[in-house]
Structure 1
Amino acid sequence: MPVGYPCPRLVDDLIPFILESDNHWWNRDLKRLALISPAWLLYVRKRLYAHPTLRSYRACILLARSLTENVCLLPLLQGIELRPGAGGTARDGLTEEAMAGLRFMFTLSGLRSLTLGGDLAVGAERFLHALSNTQSIVRLSIDGDPVAWNPESSQCTLEPPSLEWDEVFAAKFMRLRSLRLSNLELSLFESAPSCPRLAELSLHNVQIVQGALSDLCRDSGDALRTLSVTSSQPELTIGDDVGELLDSCSNIENLRLEVSEGPGSEVFLGDDFPDCPAIRQLCLSGLSVNAQTLEFIGQSCKNIELLAVLGRHVRITPDDWITFLASAALPSLRELATPSGTDHPPFTYWSRAMHAQVQRACGYRKVALSSSVCLLCAWYSSSLTAFN
């Protein structure tokens, strides 16, 4: 650089754009960036403390200490994930100091999202009752440890992850819009009111041991827009429960049903399936479906725009797809995802000519034939950003 010229200086206004340009910053890199200048420290703190994830009791202690000693960090918190003991990691013990750290976390105000996992997903209602500032929470997740939830695992805990949804929670989470439950036993009480503004419900490997799924959404029938149910035991969560819920929640626009393990479950679409004119996106994955299933979809969900029928238990041939598309049963359809073969059985991949025939039939209807991966990514992306 020529002598006498000033050193180039980064404009502070560019710092947030630099940080937002990459979602995979390592914490050690952020630490180095925070040491550059006060401006960098401000924006790095905003990133680090927006949604911290705590996977040990020691982490709970350290974060509680940091927030107590630096109250200026409190407004930066938008959400928090408390997962001590998650993932089969060595548990560092619930000491008196760790309990004090957790109690401090339960008093945090202004949070928009909260996740309880690890040890806190066992009898999760105990910790939900301990929360003192829940008025701002719009996203709640209870994420049980899949190792602890699986009774066949050698690492299974004596007490599986569980949640009892009682009459207190509707009043406690008045602004709740998104509820996600994973790998746990769920108890519902018919007399307990539900959250009236609940718009998204996601169940992943949830075993309903008491009550019915409709009990969880009794007071949110008009508000519920997205329902996602994934199960390795479809007889426990997919079937009559989902049909009853769809009957009472007539405004559901996005419906996803998936069997993640084992043989495909018979899909519950039938003559007694309720009309669902509000559904715009429907994804059936891992279910055992056939050409008759498409007929029921055309009769009950006439306004579908995105349809995905995926998995290795689909008994729909290319000719069935072509006939269905030619019938114009779904006049609003604009995107379709199919498997790459048919379960005759066994599952047999389509030839290039077969795939071209389906592609041509989609072209006549101006329907985009998408890969299953692309459509699932779009589904999860829209679901994750709905309440940001």
Structure 2
Amino acid sequence: MGQKPSKLESYFLCDKEASDNIYRYIDKKVQPNTEYLCMCSRTVDKVVQYLYHNLQTELKKTLSWKYISIKEILKSGSLGKSTAVKEKSDIDLIIFLNGISSIEELSQLMPNIVSSLKTLMERLADDQSITWISDLEVMRTTKFSLGLILKTVNDDGTTFDCEMDLLPSLDITTTKSLLDIYSEMEQSDEDLRRYYSACLSRVQKNFVNENTQPAKVKNLIRFIKFWVKVEQIPLRSYFIELLVIYNNRQHNRKHLATCHVDFNFYDHLKECLRILTNCETLKITFSDNYDYRNYGKPPSSFTVVFGTLLGYPPVNTNVQTVPYLLDPANPYMNVASSLEKSRIVSQKAQELLDNWDRIFP
């Protein structure tokens, strides 16, 4: 009896014409189409304008002694970084606030801020005069964020779901150097460090955007995300982005001497999969913004606390715990999966390599 095809292989078999050309397949089956991206963009713009016009007044009700306003709303997440896949696209709205003097003060005010955001968004969904939204589901409320699914109404009456996380934050990277921020984090306890994550979102987004050229790099990110979605593999979106960037850098460094650094999709996919087959012993760091050795040993794998921007457990300064892939923007954030989940990742990656010739003839 023949081996049962994987879910990814079954997807390919359903559309042989498209799968004969990987870029055609990605364009047809993986990448969100222009219409969907435009719908998401319109929804996000409307939410952003709604927050600009109403959040300050709402915050005044619960924090009457403070004058807090919005400085900027940064669009991040997979849609914000242009690495989204069909039917699994999220947006992070990083709400940079004025009127809060420090991360410590932000942590103290955060319960009121998140509560105000929740009240405000629920009022938006209940407002009968607003016709572009029909319903809202609060997926999660954490110390750091509000996770929502908005059911948006198009001009033709059709609806679609837009998943987003709202993350109140401070725009500290425009007023302080990263080294100064990391020094603050080093002096903070583990809980307070978590509030820096959203504050470093601009650095994270810029790092991904600056390191995903040519466009084929983002196509590889999308395809691996598609594989992860289809096979239900426990890997986070940001991890995949960083893995592809790391592999691309290693590949370019290896082939620089031969002056042959052309991006071959299949070669890069294989290289990423080979890395993932050893996911349990993964050790990846980036030296763009810091030397991780200056901030203790890499931390153990972190616990999910909000959307695509996640928290982490205390840094282990005595035992170097694997696997780890450290966030290039944050020396205290490990984006790798737990050891148990990494075993699943390794198994799935090996299965794809074993069936390579059948899936990618």
| TM-score, length-scaled by structure 1 | 0.24
TM-score using structure 2 length? 0.25
Larger radius of gyration: 1
